[in-house]
Chain A
């Protein structure tokens, strides 16, 4: 669907993005993750055919952004960082205007307007003047205008910025609901929402991609592939620390376990934490059982995206 090769964009002498290369398949939901000023918006504006690249090649659906921008613009819906709303218009009139502008035939424009209003829960404000609406509504109308001509590709620049927690959840639901019908590219600097809505993340820092993949892949790439927390039957009277030591030895012997440590030790129960991918769980349990250790409970967790993100943006993608 999208092929980006060596995309570079300069503002004067300043490179906003440098040599970006990535590909996005049809139907994927991709998250652009980066701090403010990392170059997310610039990249999305190039993909949205608002800006032209300084160098590099960008094709969307087989069309080149420099040579055939019109063909691309028919296929994309773009929500810039501030929703492009004519505040003196009513919601219905505005959406119909956008639909016509993007080539929806006049007979269909009204029906499409009603469809997207229902989709984005803005039907009730159809006759309201946009300028009088709350920020949450404006953001949703921003999404509605991107959807109104039923584009194959949706480009949403920070769709949740400035929303309250309830609205963020609603927005997340909305984007999840759009999954499947559209290829979606969205950006954010809020990690939690992006990890929940996106199939794949592109982490961008200083205008360059410093990591890409799913949350788990990124974690593995950064050498923190998640962890296992195991509760074992602890030392009973007279045994001392022997069972705990035995357990540590057993799990350390499993290939793939990077480290193991005791995090809690009481009478009858001890908790150890393994730095290992969650997929290793069966091997670890088998090894413990073989070593005659009672396994009481196994918990698994992935590395927190925040920490991956911080690592990536601090180290520029080199595993620390």
Chain B
């Protein structure tokens, strides 16, 4: 139940990966037949991504991870507009990869409300300020699930003449993307592709300069060999996932509704986080008062449930999630549940039946 981190490999991805390992091992720049086959596979992969995302082939580049694609979007987008300005406007709930890229230069942060929704008035003011080179908005928070008003935010960016980068890692393959953005990135292992494939789209007419040294071929993307078999598998699984996305969104969204409703009803002193309606179909977060998040994570793991947490005790930084802080919601005792195509209603019901007892046990140990 941690699809927001990584989803088990989709069967179509596994099949494509095996086939591409046999057929796509060669260097696509070489002129012998195995090289040409690899080149054809690479071109077909770019075309498949372009079709799945509804963009032009030459707008797509592939990166070694979603994180690398996100950082390339921010740094390359800023570099491309260096003559117009040096400031990045971003929401307070961007992925940490974006925040770290933002920390390299000038940045203006725009807050969110208690439900994790972008403050659009502050956003409008921030992007209209002089010296803004780029704006960055996550399509939907991977920690709270709240879907952001991308179309409205893009409208304000267009008025100000500022390109908008959308980190769509949680949305691609699950929900349609609104138009109006200039750059977009996604990550294959969030939709059932293999890990280690990131996608970056830079729309035609948007100035983007690679933040990395280039190679002789001046291809967009990180110089060096692409993991072609993984990219082939990522494209094949994205196509498969999009075919079932609508039905899956309905199924998973009703499971999330059940979790939101049952956790609130059966666990005392709990805060269900994020917008109950304008949210991702597959993700829900809640925080339990007086509970050590790490203890709850391990207790759930012993019951066979893999979940994530934004509590400080579970973070490598030992700080609470910046998303939960920006929303001002309880950060300890935090659990994020995110579902995928392999998650069944029976598993969700078993989770809901064991959770209240585990929470009560941890509270009793703490004397509460």
A binds B: no
Listed in ascending order, the chain A residues whose CB lies under 8 Å from chain B are none
